[in-house]
Amino acid sequence: MRIAVLGSAGQLGRDLCPRLAGEVVPLTRADLDLGNTAGVPAALAAARPDVLVNCAAYNFVDKAETEPEAAFAVNAWGVRALAQACAAAKVKLVHFSTDYVFGLGAARTTPFTEGDAPGPVSAYGISKLAGEYAARTFAPDALVIRTCGLYGVHGSGGKGGNFVETMLRVAGQGKPLRVVADQHCTPSYTVDVATATAALIARGASGLFHVTSAGSCTWHDLAAETFRLAGVAADLTPITSAQFGAPARRPPFSVLSNAKLAAAGVATPREWRAALAAYLAERAAARAG
């Protein structure tokens, strides 16, 4: 099986490529630009895959509020073009989405399942939900995986590192950190998401799946656990989302249930603290090596 991975230089793509069973064709924006919808069919034909895994996305959650057309160009219209091209060429599409498709409506305290109605509260979330619908409408056999708060050894594209990296960098500079403690979700290690994704692909799974680390925490909890595990004495203060004042709204609760993943016979990812510990150990090893 020939598996092309778009976004192969991103933090999830980098960890997914080595875990896929088959001949892997890593693709970047230079090979297939989701912002150039007219060029998608020819780019797909050039890669000649049986499966196309799309790890590429416009991921700037706050910036999307002021440039929603840029987010939609990649996350919605680019994915629509990809799904149409995949369906026409009989290529299986695998696509990633986000817990930020949730957040609207009454306060929630139980993990969201794939059957729960989405309701995004940000331009980014709306663009990603549009992408989910486009993938599943135009490529009915598509596998769509929602995940959350990714951190991986390869950092995150143009974001200058993931949340954990940012916490360690700022603490290392001796600066105080004020981190939101009223958003509950499950930040996830890219290695664990990649492992479960590879298993779903190997099973030929289709439809919508949630794949995150187990359990849940706030961003403040994640920062505190990072510093505890790394042995860093940081000046860390919990604040509210309102105090932080980010341009984009975030869900107060967007914990995703992995029950469908388990029912599909795939080993579910470890608990978030164990995943974070593994990440910090592998990050240290990568830096030493």
The Cα–Cα gap between 219 and 53 comes to 29
Q: Take residue 149 and report the two structure tokens written for it.
A: 């708060």
Please, which residues have CB within 8 angstroms of residue 224's CB and are 6 or more apart in sequence?
236
Applying the rule CB under 6 A, the residues between 256 and 285 that interact with ligand NAP are none
> How many residues are recorded in the chain?
289
Cα dihedral 222/282/277/188 (nearest 10): 50
- Contact segment (CB under 6 A) with ligand NAP among 8-16, 113-121, 237-245, 279-287 equals 8-16
Catalytic residue among 58, 100, 124, 189: 124
Among 22, 26, 35, 41, binds ligand NAP (CB under 6 A): 35
Among 140, 158, 160, 204, binds ligand NAP (CB under 6 A): 158
Cβ distance to ligand NAP smaller for residue 94 or 233: 94
- Contact segment (CB under 6 A) with ligand NAP among 33-41, 101-109, 235-243, 280-288 equals 33-41
Q: CB nearest ligand NAP: which residue?
A: 10
Beta bridge partner(s), residue 5:
26, 53
Q: Is 124 a catalytic residue?
A: yes
Cβ distance to ligand NAP smaller for residue 14 or 260: 14
Amino acid identity, residue 256? L
DSSP 176-193: -EEEE-S-EE--EEHHHH
CB 255 within 8 A of CB 185: yes
Q: Which residues belong to the active site?
A: 124
Which residues here bind ligand NAP, judged by CB under 6 A?
Answer: 6-7, 9-13, 29, 33-35, 55-59, 74, 78, 96, 98, 128, 147-150, 156-158
